[in-house]
Amino acid sequence: MKKPLFPAVFLDRDGTLIHDRPGHYLSDPAKLRLYKNTIPALRLLRKLGFRLFIVTNQSGIARGYFTRATAEKVNARLEKLLAAGGARIDETAYCPHGPNDGCLCRKPLPLMGRKLIKKHNIAAERSFMVGDKTSDMEFGGKLGLKTILLRTGHGQTQLRKPQALSATGHVSAGILQAARFIKHEIQDSHNADSHGGAASRR
């Protein structure tokens, strides 16, 4: 028997769920700051039936700014804060390598996503990638996900790049607006399916 496939939303971390300070690497869990709309957005997505995954590049490890253990403490604190607000994350994946390390897991390469899709039985064609960088949009495109670029974090600057627009399916002001867009998208899809079904019965 075939295992059921689930829709998911893949989420960048810095500049998407939490405040990102350009030029700084978050190495202290106590300094992590959620955007005010992060928890409501993720609760809405969970209510809509989506599995939720964080996929993040953490080159500060390769650069020697902090260790894997530190990065995992930051991720654990983020998951704890989200869970306390009723926004559970299914899994967090991160790439510890730098831009010139030649790894296969650094976004926009899709390895982190492919592993999560396989492990959690995700239906890519019914899933989304939300982030604030062109690399997030390219990552989502390589996996067959619908992509949403946020204006938070690096998003406003990234929108000046032609490749960002070509790789982006939709632009949202922030994470809650993205969640609401996803809600409308799946509602429109359900309406189209039911209208098609009705037409086929006539």
What is the tens place of the pLDDT at every residue in 3-24?
889 999 999 999 999 999 767 7
Question: Is residue 1, in this structure, part of any structural domain at all?
Answer: no
- Give the domain range for residue 188: 8-201
Is 152 inside any structural domain? yes
Q: Is 195 part of any domain?
A: yes
- Say how many C-beta atoms besides its own lie within 10 A of residue 197's C-beta: 9
Residue 162's pLDDT band, with cuts at 50, 70 and 90, is confident
DSSP 104-163: SSSTTS-HHHHHHHHHHTB-GGG-EEEESSHHHHHHHHHHT-EEEEESTTTHHHHTTSHH
pLDDT in tens, 54-82: 999 999 999 999 999 999 999 999 999 99
Determine which one of 12, 20, 132, 136 is catalytic. Answer: 12
Q: Is residue 2 part of a domain?
A: no
Proportion of the chain above pLDDT 90, given as a percent? 83
At residue 199, the pLDDT reads 37
What is the domain count for the chain?
1
In a domain, 125, yes or no: yes
pLDDT at residue 2 tops 90: no
Is 14 a domain residue? Answer: yes
pLDDT(200) > 50? no
98 vs 191, residue with greater confidence: 98
- Residue 12 annotated among the catalytic residues of the structure: yes
Q: Of the listed 14, 20, 132, 136, which one is catalytic?
A: 14
Q: Report the pLDDT value the prediction gives residue 195, as an integer from 0 to 100.
A: 57
Which residue carries 């790894």 as its tokens?
A: 103
**Is 39 within a domain?**
yes
* 76 within some domain: yes
pLDDT in tens, 92-114: 999 999 999 999 999 999 999 99
Q: Specify the CATH number for the domain of residue 197.
A: 3.40.50.1000
Tokens of 168: 């982006």
